[in-house]
């Protein structure tokens, strides 16, 4: 998969994304809506929709206070922030 980031840098992923950590509550909700919840392995304490998400996924801190040791232990393919 190829795409450009916010700085217009060209990026590519060598393999299909299997493990996602999301640090943006609205994007976590979107991933669930897109039926990608099974790939979501980590969220923030502010990811409250759907309400069960924080109980089923690893909470890696807040949006601005990420616990990098927990995040790293999840071995994410991609981090949405």
pLDDT band at 72 (very low <50, low <70, confident <90, very high): very high
Please state, rounded to an integer, the average pLDDT across all residues of the chain. 94
- One DSSP character per residue, the chain reads -EEE-TT--EEE-SS----EEE--HHHHHHHHHTT-GGGEEEE-TT--SSTTHHHHSEE-B-SSSB-HHHHHHT--SEEE-
Domains of the chain, earliest start first: 20-80 (3.40.50.1980)
Q: What is the tens place of the pLDDT at every residue in 11-41?
A: 998 888 999 999 999 999 999 999 999 999 9
Q: Rounded to an integer, what distance in angstroms lies between the CA atom of residue 19 and that of residue 39?
A: 5
For residue 13, the model assigns a pLDDT of 85
């Amino acid at each position: 998969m190829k795409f450009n980031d916010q700085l217009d840098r060209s990026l590519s992923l060598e393999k299909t994304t299997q493990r996602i950590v999301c640090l943006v509550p609205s994007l976590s909700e979107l991933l669930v809506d897109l039926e990608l919840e099974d790939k979501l392995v980590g969220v923030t304490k502010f990811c409250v929709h759907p309400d069960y998400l924080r109980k089923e996924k690893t909470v890696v801190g807040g949006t601005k206070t990420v616990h990098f040791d927990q995040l790293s232990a999840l071995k994410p393919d991609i981090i949405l922030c």
